[in-house]
Structure 1
Amino acid sequence: MRKDYDFSGAKRGPVVKSPGKKRITIMLDDDVIEAFRKKAEAKGTGYQTAINQALRDALFAEAPLTADTLRTILRQELHEV
């Protein structure tokens, strides 16, 4: 049966693309990821969605997003867990 398949033109990656999204690599602390996983599980969503929403909220907040502001937001998110 293996001879029936031709993968010479195949490409790696998701079968269905996610429009409006881009895959990146980012290094986050273990405790941050775990906190977002717990928060997301409680809400019934994915942790990447929770991180994306936290970044979106910070980005579109009236105050400019600075390193101090981001730290404050992350501390608040971690404190809620």
Structure 2
Amino acid sequence: MRDEYDFSNARKNPYAKQVKKSVTIRLDAEALDYFKRLAEETGIPYQSLINLYLKDCANSKRRLDLHWNQ
């Protein structure tokens, strides 16, 4: 194995723009349980399901219809 490698002529990673960012988020237990149950049904990891749902909301520019009781 070489001590150093030259990557100056290497191809760019076509998936580099799709790299996910790690974040910390606090979720209600009910919401998390929902996605975990859905994950068991579908065989898709719950974090991927949450990401897919949020991505769908962002792509469709869905907005939360929230009214606070006063």
| 1:58 lines up with 2:57 in the alignment | yes
- Which of the pair has the greater relative contact order for Cα pairs under 8 Å at 6+ separation? 1
Output the TM-score relative to the length of structure 1: 0.54
Q: Identity of paired residues, percent?
A: 35
Structure 1 counterpart of 2:65: 68
Cα RMSD of the aligned pairs, angstroms, is 1.7
> Which consecutive residues of structure 1, in runs of 5 or more, have no partner in the other structure?
1-18, 70-81
Structure 1 counterpart SS, 2:65: helix
1:1-81 correspondence to structure 2 within 5 Å: 20-61=19-60, 64-68=61-65
> Which consecutive residues of structure 2, in runs of 5 or more, have no partner in the other structure?
1-17
Q: Answer with 1 or 2: which has the greater Rg.
A: 2
Q: Distance in 2 between matches of 1:22 and 1:35?
A: 23
- Which structure shows the bigger proportion of residues in helix conformation? 1
Report the number of matched residues. Answer: 49
